[in-house]
């Protein structure tokens, strides 16, 4: 088997509505309902097991906020269809993290950094060809990071006394407009 290295893209966008949404989201988590929030892997709190339930309040609110940012990425990818699925939050306290993994059944992964007290807690990407962790420190709290879901990634263990909170989701960008003439459409689930 020949193995070749391919260049790809990742997108980082600052969410201008971040400060207001951060307050809302952290309050939402603090008032958590034990029926929908639990631990997973070594993540302190998450609603991963309810990731397809669009009736969660924050999903509806965030869906409205994300539309222009997803449209920006769709334009760069020359896509006309956007389908968001499997949206969930993850909250990490001291000594919690999330092991290396891929996201399946989507072509892009997205992470919105709600609370990021230290850049050392940025999501790490792994370059399989070079067999090393990629270094990128451009991500800050309030950023939306979208990258191919086939890239191995993890949340490093939080060694700080501060919490890290993200909202992750899977997204498919489809129907390339080089060949199609459809208008852009966004589907949440």
pLDDT for the residue numbered 25: 96
Cα 71 to Cα 89: distance, rounded to the nearest angstrom: 22
Phi and psi at 9, nearest 5°, equal -115, 155
Structure tokens at 79: 């896509």
Instruction: Report pLDDT for 43.
Output: 85
pLDDT at 177: 63
Contact between residue 124 and residue 134 where contact means Cβ atoms under 8 Å apart = yes
Q: CA-CA distance, 65 to 39, in Å (whole number)?
A: 27
What is the structure's pLDDT at 39? 65
What CATH number does the domain located at 11-188 have?
2.60.120.620
Listed as ranges, residues in the chain with pLDDT below 70 are: 33-40, 137, 177-189
For the chain, how big is the Rg over CA atoms in Å?
17
d(CA 84, CA 89): 14
Q: Name the nearest CA neighbour of 29 among 170, 189, 167.
A: 167
Q: Determine the pLDDT at residue 3.
A: 83
pTM for this entry: 0.89
């Amino acid at each position: 088997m020949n193995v070749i290295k391919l260049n790809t893209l990742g997108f980082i966008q600052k969410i201008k509505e971040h400060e207001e949404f951060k307050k809302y989201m952290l309050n939402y988590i603090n008032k958590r309902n034990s029926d929908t929030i639990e631990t997973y892997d070594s993540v302190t709190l998450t609603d991963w097991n309810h990731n397809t339930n669009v009736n969660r309040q924050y999903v509806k609110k965030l869906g409205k906020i994300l539309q222009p940012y997803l449209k920006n990425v769709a334009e760069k990818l020359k896509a006309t269809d956007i389908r968001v699925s499997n949206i969930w939050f993850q909250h990490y306290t001291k000594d919690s993290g999330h092991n290396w993994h891929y996201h399946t059944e989507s072509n892009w992964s997205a992470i919105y950094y709600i609370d990021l007290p230290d850049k050392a807690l940025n999501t790490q990407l792994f370059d399989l060809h070079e067999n090393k962790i990629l270094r990128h420190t451009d991500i800050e709290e309030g950023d939306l990071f979208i990258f191919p879901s086939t890239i191995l990634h993890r949340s490093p263990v939080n060694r700080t006394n501060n919490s890290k909170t993200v909202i992750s989701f899977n997204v498919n960008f489809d129907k390339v407009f080089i060949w199609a003439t459809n208008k852009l459409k966004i589907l949440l689930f």
